Amino acid sequence: MATEDAARAMNLFYEELNALYSDIAKRSGLSGSAFDILYALHEEDGRRMVDLCRASFMSKQTLASSVRRLEEQGLVRTEARSRRFVRVFLTDQGRAQVEAAIVPIARAETRALERLSPAEQRAIPELIAHYLEALRAEFGQL
């Protein structure tokens, strides 16, 4: 029963987290994909497209069209060394958008974590890493 409860809790966590971020993206005036890209660039500007795919959980095609829209809006620019090596950078307008929409969210995330005890904060990355390791092993056997 404990395992089933934990599985339900993980699924609920994932669903509610997605809903929270979808809602906050809309309230910030951003699509979900634009939010994910700008958030990732806030963490590390000049990311490669392949890294943005991983960070945003988007397919290459979805990411490419989303980046193209952000370019048209003047929020990002791309720099290609080759077809396989494209980096995405925030423009000045993009940095202003990140400051207005993404930074407050990142600060809210930090404040939410600060509500947890230091022991709880330390446990989160350890539990997530252990769970992901176990899940990879299980999925590898499918």
Please list the rounded mean pLDDT of every run of 10 residues in the chain (142 residues). 88 93 93 95 95 91 95 96 87 97 96 96 94 93 94
pLDDT of residue 66: 96
pLDDT of residue 56: 87
CA dihedral 36, 39, 43, 49 (to 10 degrees): 40
pLDDT of residue 109: 96
Spell 120-134 as b/e; 16+ CB within 10 A means b.
eeeeeeeeeeeeeee
